[in-house]
Amino acid sequence: MRGFPLEVESNIGDFMQILDGRATAAQLKKEIADKVKKIQAAGGKVPHLAAVIVGDDGASQTYVSNKVRTCEELGFESTLIALPSSTSEAELLAKVHELNENTEVDGFIVQVPLPDHIDEDKVTEAIKPEKDVDGFHPENLGRMMLGLPTYISATPNGILELLRRNGVKTTGKHCVVVGRSNIVGTPMSILMSRNAEPGNCTVTLVHSRTANMQEVCASADILIVAIGKAEFVSADMVKEGAVVIDVGTTRVPDESKPKGFALKGDVDFEAVKDKCSFITPVPGGVGPMTIVSLMQNTLRAVERKNKKK
Ligand code: NAP
């Protein structure tokens, strides 16, 4: 790997650049923390994020504790509500209603996945759109579709910010999004096709029923992968000079690691990296950007409230 210019005019070059999510997120966190200090100095209310977790899924617990820790780092208030996996749907909905009405809480998330006996859609729809800082509520997703002000869900928004802040040009490019989930793939495909930069791409959305997967992926200038299959994307699926964004985070058993597992992306990083103009690592790529995007949305919730006063 060679040294890189800060501003990169073209994605297609003879070198590869790591899109460092940790460094970009650190920059953003500093900006958010500065804004919080200003709010505090002016006697305003600091952002307050609440997180609800149901059950004891290890990965979910890690995500939620990272979110709470980031709140502390940025000067936010935070509340963690940990409920047992035996919590009924009605009990969880009651908690959601309570948080909707709590004027101290500016935004909240209900960590997914939820236990099987709870309908995730029902819970998402019960969250007041103005407190839905995850951006999963149908109203917020609809507003995003229409290009209206809203909370854009954290992972797609984090990816846009990563592209923007690292000077990755997207206009006129062919973007292939792999995976069509409501929280990553589908919103990402819409955002990359909108009339904006980052955006203005010709977008192809592929999924598990796509027939010519390898061929479609290999035609991408920008390849965004969110499927949850460790190291699925191999070198023959990546075009020379492509920008590769790896959203996947799969825990793969690894006794050499202190926690007994390694976190793997959806892309075979070692096999693919030398073909790319830009690539995100896992960990340290999209993950840190997702958390900081959630914080941006929570700050926005407070700013919206303050504007209304
Ligand atoms: P999801 O809801 O499980 O959806 C997976 C999508 O991938 C589905 O659309 C599925 O297609 C598609 N898919 C599965 N196998 C495929 C294959 N072999 N070829 C093509 N498409 C395939 O997943 P998600 O919630 O979007 O998450 C995806 C990954 O991103 C997971 O590893 C998750 O942990 C990670 N993630 C990371 C962050 C972060 O901040 N880093 C945030 C969110 C998610 P069908 O629709 O046809 O079934």
* C-alpha 113 to ligand 1 mean position (Å): 13
Res 162 pLDDT > 50 = yes
Contact 156, 184 (CB under 8 A): yes
Topology, domain 43-127: Rossmann fold (3.40.50)
Q: Choosing from 67, 131, 173, 239, which is the catalytic residue?
A: 67
Q: Choose the catalytic residue: 111, 132, 169, 246.
A: 111
In ligand 1, the atom with minimum distance to the C-alpha of 184 is 26
**Residue 70: pLDDT over 60:** yes
Residue 229 designated active-site: no
How far, CA to CA in Å, does 14 sit from each of 162, 171, 210, 236, 263?
A: 21, 20, 31, 18, 29
83-87, Cβ contacts within 8 angstroms, sequence gap of 24 or more: 83/52, 83/53, 83/54, 83/55, 84/54, 84/55, 85/54, 85/55, 85/56, 85/115, 87/54, 87/115, 87/118
* Phi, psi of 102, deg, nearest 5: -75, 110
Q: Whose CA is nearest to atom 32 of ligand 1?
A: 228
Q: Are 25 and 292 in contact (CB under 8 A)?
A: yes
Residue among 121, 181, 223 whose CB has most ligand 1 atoms within 8 A, to mutate: 181
Give the pLDDT of residue 14.
Answer: 56
Which two three-digit tokens encode residue 199? 């955006």
CA 76 / ligand 1 centre spacing (Å): 30
Peptide bond into 115 cis (omega under 30): no
Cα of 181 vs centre of ligand 1, distance in Å, is 6
Distance between CA atoms of residues 244 and 275, nearest Å: 10
The β-bridge partners of 252 are 262
Alpha carbons 105 and 52: distance in angstroms, whole number = 12
* Per-residue confidence (pLDDT) for residue 4, from 0 to 100: 38
Domain assignments of the chain as residue spans, ordered by start: 43-127, 153-286
Atom of ligand 1 nearest to the CA of 286: 41
Domain 153-286 belongs to what architecture?
3-Layer(aba) Sandwich (3.40)
Name the DSSP letter for residue 211. Answer: S
Residue whose CB lies within 8 A of the most ligand 1 atoms, among 66, 112, 207, 286, for a mutation test: 207
**Catalytic residue of the set 29, 106, 132, 134:** 134
CA 286 – ligand 1 centroid, Å: 14
Give residues (CB < 6 A) around ligand 1.
Answer: 155, 178-181, 183-185, 206-209, 213, 226-229, 247-250, 286-287, 290
Per DSSP, the chain holds a count of helices (H) and strands (E) of 10, 11
Determine the atom of ligand 1 nearest the C-alpha atom of 63.
Answer: 40
Pocket perturbation via mutation, ligand 1, pick of 60, 183, 184, 224 by most ligand atoms within 8 A of CB: 184
> How many angstroms separate the Cα of 251 from the Cα of each of 87, 230, 231, 262?
26, 8, 12, 6
Q: With beta carbons less than 8 A apart as the criterion, state whether 140 and 129 touch.
A: yes
**pLDDT above 90 coverage of the chain, percent:** 91
pLDDT at position 89 over 80: yes
Partner residues linked to 82 by β-bridges: 53
**Residue 307 above 80 pLDDT?**
no
Q: Which of 27, 13, 14 is nearest to 166 (CA)?
A: 27
Decide if 111 is catalytic.
yes
Dump pLDDT digits (tens) for 251-305: 999 999 999 999 999 999 999 999 999 999 999 999 999 999 999 999 999 988 8
Q: Render pLDDT for 15-65 as a digit per residue (tens, 0 to 9).
A: 789 999 999 999 999 999 999 999 999 999 999 999 999 999 988 999 999
Sheet holding 17-18, edge to edge: 17-18, 276-279, 242-246, 222-225, 174-178, 202-206
Instruction: Give mean pLDDT, residues 122-139.
Output: 97
Q: What is the pLDDT of residues 199-215, one digit of tens each?
A: 999 999 999 999 999 99
* pLDDT value at residue 17: 94
Residue-level pLDDT at 57: 92
**Residue 216 CA, ligand 1 centroid: distance in Å:** 17
Q: How far is CA 244 from the centre of its chain?
A: 15
Catalytic status, residue 173: no
- Any idea what DSSP says for residue 113? S
Q: What is the CA(4)–ligand 1 centre distance, in A? A: 31
